[in-house]
Amino acid sequence: MKKEIASLIELDRQRTLLAHIDALLGWDQETYLPKSAVDERAEQIALIQGLVHEKAVEPRVGQLLSALEKHPDLEPLEKAYLRVIRREYDKETKLPPDFVMELARQTSLAQAAWADARRTNDFALFAPHLEKVIELNKRLANYINPHGRPYDVLLDLYEEGSTEAGIAAIFAQMKADTLKILSKIQSRPQVDDSFLHRPVSADRQARISLYLMDAVGFEKDKGRLDTVAHPFTTTLGKSDIRITTRYIEDFLASSMFSTIHESGHALYEMGIDPDPEYSGTRLAEPVSMAIHESQSRLWENMIGRSKAFWERHYAKIQEMAGTLDDVDLDSFVLAINKVEPSLIRTEADEVTYGLHIILRFELESSIMADKLAVKDIPEAWNAKTKELFGLDVPNNSSGCLQDIHWSMGSFGYFPSYALGNLYAAQFWHQMHKDIPDLEAQLTAGKTSVPLAWLRKNVHCHGSFYKPDELVKKATGEGLSPRYFAEYLDNKYAAVYGY
C-alpha cells in the first residue's frame, strides 16, 4: 500500500471513530436519554459533529488527495477510495465549522421539539424549529453549490447524480404504474386483516421481533434491538449495528415488518467489506441512501411478505403471538399484503408507499423553491393527501408531523425511499434468475441464500461502485422502474385475484 494512502486511511479512521461516537449520542437520545438532558445532548452532539467535520477537512487530507490523484499507477481500490474521499472533502471544506455545529445543535433541538409536537399534535411547537432547519438547509445547499438549484444540491447529497427533474420523471412513471395497479386492486373485494389488530402485548411483540431478527440472519453479537418513537437503524461500529422498533399493541404487523425492514438495513451494514485494508474508512460505508433502502425493502416486502418465508415461520409466530390460532397461513399472507390508501407512510403497503414519497417530494420542492411557507405546510400536506389518497387528515400528527426527517435536517432524503423500492425490485428480479429455487430455499428457512447473494452483489462492495455502477454490475443494466411495476402487478394479481 502506498504510504500516502495509509496516511489517508489513518486520518479517515479517526473521523469514523468520531462519527460512530456521534451515532451513539444520537441513538441514546432516541432510546434512553432523560427528558431534561436534551439541551446538553445537543451541545455534546454539536461538539462531536464539529470534530468530525474538523477531521474531514484537515488540510493534510487535501494535500494527500492532490498528491495521490497525480499518481500514475493507482489500483482500482485506490481509485475508488480517492473518488469517495474527494467527494466528501470537497463538500465538507465548503461548510464553515460554525455552520456545521449550528446545524448539529439546531437539528438536535428540532428532533426533541418534533417528538413533543407529534405527541401533543401541536404543529406550532415544531414550526419555529422547522423554519430554522429549512433556512439551514438552504444555506447548506448554497455553501455546496451557490449556482445550483437548492433542491438539486440537496438531492445529490443522498443519491449521487440525482436531480429534481430526473426524479420527477421516474416518479411520474411510478405514479402512473401505481395508480393502474391500485385501480385493479380496488376493483376486487378487500382482504381481511382484522386479526392483525388483535391486541398483542409489547413483551410478546418484542420476543417476535427478536425471533424475526434471527430468521433473517441478524448477527446479535454485532447489534441489538431497542424501542423508539420512530424506528431507525444506526451504525456505532463495524460490529455494532443497532436497530429499533416500536410496539403498537393492536397492530402486531407494525413491529414485525418494521423489525424486518430495519434488519435489512443492518444486514447491509454488517456485510460491507470492500477490502480489509479499508476497514473503518469511507470506502467501507454504504454507497447511498437509496441502495440502503433497497436492502430494507427487499427484506421487508419481497422476502418478509412472501408466502415462502412464512411457510417456514408462521407456526412459530402463531405460538408467540397467541392471537392467530384460528388464522391459516394463506389468510395471514393475504392480510400482510393488504393494500389500502392510508395516512402514515411507515405503515403503508408497498403499492401506495410511493405515493407518500411523491407527496413529500413535491412539498420539499415547493419549500426549497420558496413557494411554500412553513405555516402553510399543514394545509398543503392535507390537500395533497386528499388528491393522492382521497383521504382527509384528521390531525397533524397523522399528517405533516408524522416523519422525523425534517427535524433531523434531512431535506432531499425522502426520494431515496422510493428509489430503494425500484432498486430492490431490480435486484430481486436478478436474484431469481441467479437462484432458480429461491422460493424453495426460503421455505426451507434458508434466508442465508438470498443474504449470500446480496452480500456478494451489493453489501460487500461498500462505496467501491457508484449506485448506478453497482446496479449495472449486479443486474446487467441501469436502474429501471419497470421491475418494480412488474413485481407489484404479478404479486397483487395473485393476492387480489384480478
Q: Which residues bind its own copies (CB under 8 A)?
A: 14, 17-18, 20-21, 24-25, 28, 32-37, 39-41, 43-44, 47-48, 51, 219-224, 226, 236-240, 242
**Which residue's CB is nearer to its own copies, number 91 or number 204?**
204
**Which residue's CB is nearer to its own copies, number 297 or number 459?**
459
Describe the crossing of helices 252-271 and 202-216 by its angle, rounded to 10 degrees: 30
| Minimal distance, residue 464 CB to its own copies, in Å | 22
| Minimal distance, residue 401 CB to its own copies, in Å | 23
**Which residue's CB is nearer to its own copies, number 221 or number 325?**
221
| Minimal distance, residue 387 CB to its own copies, in Å | 42
CA terminus-to-terminus distance, the chain:
59
**Which residue's CB is nearer to its own copies, number 35 or number 147?**
35
| Minimal distance, residue 49 CB to its own copies, in Å | 12
C-alpha grid cell, residue 156: 445529490
Describe the crossing of helices 123-144 and 353-368 by its angle, rounded to 10 degrees: 70
C-alpha grid cell, residue 288: 447511498
| Minimal distance, residue 124 CB to its own copies, in Å | 23
**Which residue's CB is nearer to its own copies, number 37 or number 440?**
37
**Which residue's CB is nearer to its own copies, number 219 or number 486?**
219
Q: How far, CA to CA in Å, does 353 sit from each of 1, 141, 200, 247, 379?
A: 46, 28, 25, 21, 21
233 beta partners: 243
Active site residue 160: no
**Which residue's CB is nearer to its own copies, number 18 or number 181?**
18
Neighbours of 329 (CB within 10 A): 14
| Minimal distance, residue 14 CB to its own copies, in Å | 7
Pairing verdict, β 223-227 and 240-245 = parallel
Tell me which residue of 252, 115, 280 sits closest to 196, measured CA to CA. 252
Looking at 78, 92, 159, 262, which residue is catalytic?
Answer: 262
| Minimal distance, residue 377 CB to its own copies, in Å | 31
**Which residue's CB is nearer to its own copies, number 51 or number 140?**
51
| Minimal distance, residue 95 CB to its own copies, in Å | 21
Neighbours of 40 (CB within 10 A): 11
Burial, 155: exposed, middle or buried (Cβ in 10 Å; 0-12, 13-18, 19+)? buried
**Which residue's CB is nearer to its own copies, number 118 or number 242?**
242
| Minimal distance, residue 486 CB to its own copies, in Å | 39
Catalytic residues: 262
